[in-house]
Structure 1
Amino acid sequence: MSKIRIALIEDHDLTRVGIRTALLQKEEIEVVGEAANAAEGLKMLKALQPDIAIIDIGLPDKDGIELTRELKATSNGEELATKVLILTLQDNKEAVLAAFAAGADSYCMKDIKFDNLLEAVRVTHNGNAWIDPAIARIVLQQAQHNPPKQDGVSLNTKNSHQYSEFVDDQETIEPYTLTERELEVLQLIVEGCSNALIAERLYITVGTVKTHVRNILNKLCADDRTQAAVRALRSGLVG
C-alpha cells in the first residue's frame, strides 16, 4: 500500500518536530519535506508534489492563506494533486472563511488531538473536507447565509464541495429521539470536546460516553463526530 506523502510548512521548530514525530508513528504516513516559511514551502511543494501539505496559517514571510492561494493558482484549472490542511490557533470567522476561499481542503486547530489529526489527514487524502468540530459552526453559518463567496471572492469549483456538503441536504431533518443526556454529549461534541473531557464534564465514565456517541451517530445517520456536529447545528438540535 502506498504511503500518504506529507509536507510540513511551520515556522516553529518544536511544533514542526512534534507534528512530524506524531505523524511518523503511523506506517501509512511519510513526511517527505519540511519548510519554515512560505517562500521555501512553495518551492518545496512544487518540487515534491506531496499528497497533503500541512500549512501553518501564521508564517513569518507570508500567511498560510496566501501560500494556499498561490499553490492552488499553479494548477491552471486542473485538479491539484496536493491537498491543503491548514493548522491554526485562530478560530475567528475571517481566518476560517479566508482559508476556504483560498482553496484549503481542511482546517484544524493547533490543539487538535493526535488521533483527530490522523483522521483529518486520512479524510483529506480521500478527497473530503475535514473541519474541526470547534469551528464547524462558522462554516455552516456562512454556507447557509452567503454561499459560496467571501469578500467578493467566489470559491473555485474544486473547493466548493466544502460548502456544498453542508447545504446540499436541503430537506428538513426529522426530529431525532435523542435523550437529554445524548443532547448534552452532542453539545460537547460540537464544542470540540474529547471523550475524556466529556466524561469529566458530565461525571460519567469514558465507556459511557462512547456508548452515547455511538447512539448519537446512529440516530443522526452520521459517519463521524464532525458530521454529527454539522447535522446537529444544521437541524437546530444544539446552539
Structure 2
Amino acid sequence: MQGAKVSIVSDSAILTAALEQSISSTFGSVRHVSSVVELLRAPDWQLTVSVLDAADPKVVTHHLMSVSNKDDLARIVVLMRGNQTVLDFRDLLPFVGALMPNGTSLEEINLAARIVQPGLKLLPSDAFSLLYSAPRHAKEDGPQPVKLLTERELGVLQLLAEGCSNKTIARRLNVSDSTIRVHVRAILKKLKMQNRTQAALYAIGNQAEGTAGSRSPRDQD
C-alpha cells in the first residue's frame, strides 16, 4: 500500500503526531489537515484516505453531507471522541468508510485506513441496526417499489445485497463493468437512493419481506 495517500484531519497536535507515526509505516504519504473544511477544499481529497478526528459531530456531519457525490466519502475514517455515540453520526453511517469508537488504538485506526482504502466498510456493531432501519425513515418522496426495476436491474440489486463489487457482478453476469455501472445508476435513480449501500440494505429488507429477489440475476433484459 506504499504510495497511497492519507490525510489526518485533527486540531490536536498530539493525536496528529501519533497517528502520523503509526500510519506512515503503512502508507507512502501522510499529510496534516486542520479541519474538515480544509480537507474538502483539497483538489484530490476524494482520492486519499482521510482519518477524521470528529471533535464536533454536528459540524463534521454538516460539511460531509454537503458533498454532492456521497460515494466520495467511502474512504473517510471517522474517529469518535469522549461520550460521542453512533447516534451522533447516524446520517453519515451509509456513506463513510469507517466509524471508530473512542479509545480505539493507533493500530486499529491504521487497520481501518487500510480497510477503507479499497472501498470496504468498517462500523461498530450497534451501527447496523440504524443502517437497516434507515430506508424505513425515508422522506415522503423516498424509495419507490422494486417493481419499477427491470429483470436485469433486479438481478444486479440482488448481487449488490450480497456485497458484490461492480467487477464481480460484471463477471457473474458476463457483461462489462461499464454496463453494470449503468445498471447501478438506474437502480439508484429509480429507488431514489444516494449510494449502493442504501440500495443493498433496501434490497435485504425487501428480501426478508418476500417482495424482492425472486428472479434470477441471470435473467435477460
Q: TM-score, normalised by structure 1?
A: 0.53
Question: Which structure 1 residue ranges, 5 or more long, are not aligned?
Answer: 171-239
Structure 1 equivalent of residue 65 of structure 2: 69
How many aligned positions are there?
157
- 1:83 and 1:47 mapped to 2: Cα distance? 12
Write the deviation string for residues 117-169 of structure 1: whole angstroms up to 9, x where unpaired.
Answer: 2221121112111113xxx12x222234x233667497621442785798799
Aligned ranges 1:149-160 → 2 under 5 Å: 152=139, 156-160=194-198
* Conservation of the 8 A alpha-carbon contact between 2:74 and 2:97: no
The answer to whether structure 1 residue 119 and structure 2 residue 111 are counterparts is yes
Structure 2 equivalent of residue 202 of structure 1: none
* Conservation of the 8 A alpha-carbon contact between 2:22 and 2:107: no
Structure 2 equivalent of residue 35 of structure 1: 33
Closer/same/farther in 2, CA of residues 113 and 22 from structure 1, 3 Å limit: same
Aligned ranges 1:1-239 → 2 under 5 Å: 3-26=3-26, 28-31=27-30, 33-44=31-42, 46-58=43-55, 63-70=59-66, 72-73=67-68, 75=69, 80=72, 83-89=75-81, 90-100=83-93, 103-132=95-124, 136-137=125-126, 139-144=127-132, 146-148=133-135, 152=139, 156-160=194-198, 163=201
Write the deviation string for residues 58-114 of structure 1: whole angstroms up to 9, x where unpaired.
Answer: 259x722222223x31x3x8x53862111112542421312225x222111242123
Residue 129 of structure 1 aligns with an amino acid whose one-letter code is K
- 1:18 and 1:166 mapped to 2: Cα distance? 40
Residue 20 of structure 2 aligns with an amino acid whose one-letter code is R
Residue 117 of structure 1 aligns with an amino acid whose one-letter code is I
The Cα shift of 1:13 comes to: 1.4
- 1:30 and 1:111 mapped to 2: Cα distance? 25
Write the deviation string for residues 193-228 of structure 1: whole angstroms up to 9, x where unpaired.
Answer: xxxxxxxxxxxxxxxxxxxxxxxxxxxxxxxxxxxx
- 1:91 and 1:165 mapped to 2: Cα distance? 30
Closer/same/farther in 2, CA of residues 2 and 15 from structure 1, 3 Å limit: closer
Q: TM-score, normalised by structure 2?
A: 0.56
Closer/same/farther in 2, CA of residues 19 and 147 from structure 1, 3 Å limit: same
- 2:196 and 2:114 mapped to 1: Cα distance? 19
The Cα shift of 1:24 comes to: 1.1
Closer/same/farther in 2, CA of residues 91 and 30 from structure 1, 3 Å limit: same
Write the deviation string for residues 12-41 of structure 1: whole angstroms up to 9, x where unpaired.
Answer: 111112111111122x4421x322123222
Secondary structure at the counterpart of residue 63 of structure 1? helix
Closer/same/farther in 2, CA of residues 152 and 43 from structure 1, 3 Å limit: same
